[in-house]
Amino acid sequence: MGNVIGIGAAPKRKEDQRFLTGRGNYVSDIKRPGMTAGVFVRSPHGHAVIRGIDESAALAAPGVIAVLTGDDVKADGLGSLPCGWGISDAKGVPMKEPPFPMLAQGKVRFVGDMVAFVIAETPEQANAGAELLKIDYEVLPSVVGVLEAVRPGAPQLFDDVPNNICCDWELGDKAAVESAFRKAAHVAKLSLVNNRLIGNPMEPRAAIAEYEPGTDRFTLWTTSQFPHVVRFLMGALVLNIPQHKLRVVAPDVGGGFGVKQFHYGEEAVITWAAKRVKRPVKWVASRSEGYVSDRHGRDHVTEAELALDETGKFLAFRVKTLANMGGYLSTFGPNIPTNLYGPLLGGVYTTPAIYCNVKVVFTNTVPVDAYRGAGRPEATFVLERIVDVAASEMGIDRVEIRRRNMIPKEAYPYQTPVLVQYDSGDPMGCLDGALAAADVKNFGVRKAASASKGKFRGLGYSTYVEACGLAPSRFAGRLGARGGLYESATVRVHPTGQVTVMIGTHNHGQGHETTFAQIVSDKLGVPFENVDIVFGDTDRVQFGMGTYGSRSLVVGGAALSKATDKVIAKGKKIASHLLEAAEVDIQFESGKFSVAGTDRSKTFEEIAGAAYVPHNYPLEVLEPGLEEQAYYDPVNFTYPGGCHIAEVEVDPETGTVTLINYTAVDDVGTVINPMIVEGQLHGGIVQGVGQALFENAVYDEGSGQLLSGSLMDYCMPRADHLPMMKVATHSTLCTHTPMGVKGCGEVGTIGSPAAVINAVVDALSHLGVTHVDMPATPNRIWRLLQNASLPV
């Protein structure tokens, strides 16, 4: 008999047993009888017309079974890849949504765009066949930067999308903002770039599809964060496969960070191909292939202005952003720099008027979509950078200016001028906690010690808020209308009292098998080891919207909590029958049903057993079994927040920035498992530090080639780049989620880029440096220092 391990405990992760002993089951581990291998032939050009494809040599190559192209897709009348969430401009005109074919038709629009699929007996033969495919391209000029793409005369990606702008989106009260600017004592201005990122999950994407002619059923195994959504988008909207004829399985997935949260053309091509060749088809991406086909993240160019009164109070905030969408609209693409960006520009401040304009722009680059944080790190970066600029220009301390504008704890719930209403929070508490933990009062001593070694030390603050727990269905736009963004969980109690949970979220590193088992163990009083969590299979889990937007605990966990409540309610009925007491007199506590005021009780295990014994109660009164399903649709987002403080040292000889200390105090509501939350914060912070100091996806203007197309050129942060971080929580409870939880999966990525860059700018401020674009590489800093007048 094991132990109950409940909410707040920190057991080791259940799932690590199989991962650490090499027994994970990833897509590339799966083998099916008669399986073939597929290879995608991708465009080597950023922008080109496909004049013709000669398949004859490829088809004649040893082992090659088929070559599929855009013409075959057209001939079979298949749909375009859907963009799940539509947006509209200020007048309500929907965005331009040009088709995104599974395989390119007539034109390619980025290096990596899929032109053909070659299927052979082995991967080697498929690769050899792909080499023999002759594609006649007429190369066109490419445009990769947003500033260039909107200029008159720029190469146009789509005939019906003038100036490459698919939507001119806005949010907020423009007139109120203009009037506030007219009254301002000071206006701070900042132009910045939010650099393009590549997700780099440990496991590259992969898929296997199989078609069973006897039942007319398809199975797709795919590295997805949301198999049910793939089943819907691909089955209903692209391939016309009825939902009951399509099973989508996302088994163990080696990290996603958002990148595996979209419906990709590869999944559709492979599923379609499996029926055409009547054999299972497998594709596993190489790392290099991932660089030119996994959706990228961020890539904004922004102009921001903050209006302040003479005391440093924020009067209004105006932001204009050009957001890069790449060559086509990905599943959530246009939603990220708009709906997940504009509403967060209020941050933790009382700014009364905010206006945001975003031009959503096509370029000849890999489509851009959500990457951990998605929109919210970009908003935090703009806001927290300009607050520092304003503080420095007005001669106000950076902590003091934040305090003067922060929403006080008592003011929650707090309605912002940009749609969202924060239910709870205590930004000042997080700030105070972080200032103490980071030992800010002794920073001067440390700065002097650095100076004595010829180094510049800087301190950077970032106070942030996040909207997560995607999403209340009413906010979910078109996707919400198609299916809702709620979540489901089924709790199946076996006659022996053990529990299997079927849940619609997907665990690909977040520890759900552990934290969700803790919730069940806590609520039902069953041993932790007696609970298994099943996810990632549309045949085993009835409904699910998957994992992204730090939604699994606040939406999925809430559904699970509701389902356990239903189990307890039914258990009470059974107990009342067995204990011959009125149902209202039955209490459930610590795994025991008892009659109030007596010593008569039944254990959870006894009730589970009794639930399956037919003669215990008549069928008309109570059906046998103990299994309950619940759905949960949040009424609002949850709003985690916090304060991050980075301390850096800059070496003026080389331009190298070293992160010396990092402190984070975050409000994630009730903590289910503090060890897992700490791990999530560490991981998120590392990704934010990666953006601030190392990572950058660089394209060549004109040719559209990705210059940072491998781990040799794209600099990922390593363990030895990082100090031991101090992370702590300072929680206020979410007022509308069961258990009071808020999400934690992205907070680290949201708070950190601004903290690090603010620290770098602080270190260099005595040289007149007011801004450094990300990533703050040695080269960039060294050049800045050459232009500044270095003291001798």
Using CB under 6 A as the criterion, which residues of the chain lie in contact with ligand MCN when the complex forms?
Answer: 201, 255-258, 372, 508-512, 515, 547-554, 668-673, 676-677, 680, 683, 741-746
Distance CA 467, CA 642 (A): 12
Distance CA 734, CA 731 (A): 9
Residue type, 284: V
For 71, the token pair is 């013409």
CB of 310 to ligand MCN, least distance (A): 41
Report whether the peptide linkage leading into residue 775 is cis, meaning its omega lies within 30 degrees of zero. Answer: yes
CB of 663 to ligand MCN, least distance (A): 19
**Closer of 338 and 552 to ligand MCN (Cβ):** 552
**Closer of 261 and 405 to ligand MCN (Cβ):** 261
Contact 303, 278 (CB under 8 A): no
Q: From start to end of 246-400, where are the E strands?
A: 246-249, 281-284, 297-308, 314-326, 353-362
CB of 219 to ligand MCN, least distance (A): 24
Distance CA 721, CA 683 (A): 13
CB of 264 to ligand MCN, least distance (A): 16
CB of 502 to ligand MCN, least distance (A): 17
Secondary structure class of 458 (helix, strand, coil): strand
CB of 280 to ligand MCN, least distance (A): 27
Q: Which residue has the tokens 């010690």?
A: 449
For 492, the token pair is 């199946």
CB of 603 to ligand MCN, least distance (A): 27
CB of 686 to ligand MCN, least distance (A): 11
Contact 233, 538 (CB under 8 A): no
**Closer of 332 and 617 to ligand MCN (Cβ):** 332
Distance CA 644, CA 461 (A): 6
With a CB cutoff of 8 Å and minimum separation 6, the contacts of 174 are: 355
Residue 384 belongs to what H/E stretch? helix 376-394
Distance CA 331, CA 274 (A): 23
Neighbours of 595 (CB within 10 A): 18
For 735, the token pair is 């007022």
Instruction: For helices 604-611 and 558-578, give the axis angle rounded to 10 degrees.
Output: 80
CB of 752 to ligand MCN, least distance (A): 14
For 705, the token pair is 């080639």
CB of 411 to ligand MCN, least distance (A): 23
Instruction: List the alpha helices (DSSP H) in 454-603.
Output: 477-483, 512-524, 558-578
**Closer of 685 and 759 to ligand MCN (Cβ):** 685
Residue in 717, 723, 672 with CA at minimum distance from that of residue 692: 717
Distance CA 791, CA 153 (A): 46
**Closer of 428 and 676 to ligand MCN (Cβ):** 676
DSSP 295: P
CB of 44 to ligand MCN, least distance (A): 30
**Closer of 238 and 336 to ligand MCN (Cβ):** 336
**Closer of 405 and 521 to ligand MCN (Cβ):** 521
CB of 483 to ligand MCN, least distance (A): 18
CB of 68 to ligand MCN, least distance (A): 31
**Closer of 304 and 485 to ligand MCN (Cβ):** 485
Residue in 429, 427, 440, 319 with CA at minimum distance from that of residue 381: 319
**Closer of 208 and 741 to ligand MCN (Cβ):** 741
CB of 374 to ligand MCN, least distance (A): 7
Please report, for the chain, how many H helices and E strands are present, in that order. 20, 28
**Closer of 450 and 638 to ligand MCN (Cβ):** 638
Secondary structure class of 484 (helix, strand, coil): coil
For 191, 195, 285, 650, the CA distances from 381, given in Å and listed in that order, are: 12, 11, 33, 21
CB of 764 to ligand MCN, least distance (A): 32
**Closer of 550 and 691 to ligand MCN (Cβ):** 550
DSSP 236: I
With a CB cutoff of 8 Å and minimum separation 6, the contacts of 342 are: 169, 171, 172, 319, 356, 358, 379, 418, 419
Report whether the peptide linkage leading into residue 471 is cis, meaning its omega lies within 30 degrees of zero. Answer: yes
**Closer of 263 and 455 to ligand MCN (Cβ):** 263
Contact 132, 55 (CB under 8 A): no
Residue in 305, 503, 434 with CA at minimum distance from that of residue 515: 503
Distance CA 149, CA 594 (A): 70
Contact 531, 564 (CB under 8 A): no
**Closer of 210 and 678 to ligand MCN (Cβ):** 678
Secondary structure class of 141 (helix, strand, coil): coil
**Closer of 235 and 469 to ligand MCN (Cβ):** 469
**Closer of 279 and 551 to ligand MCN (Cβ):** 551
CB of 6 to ligand MCN, least distance (A): 12
**Closer of 37 and 750 to ligand MCN (Cβ):** 750
With a CB cutoff of 8 Å and minimum separation 6, the contacts of 189 are: 303, 304, 305, 389
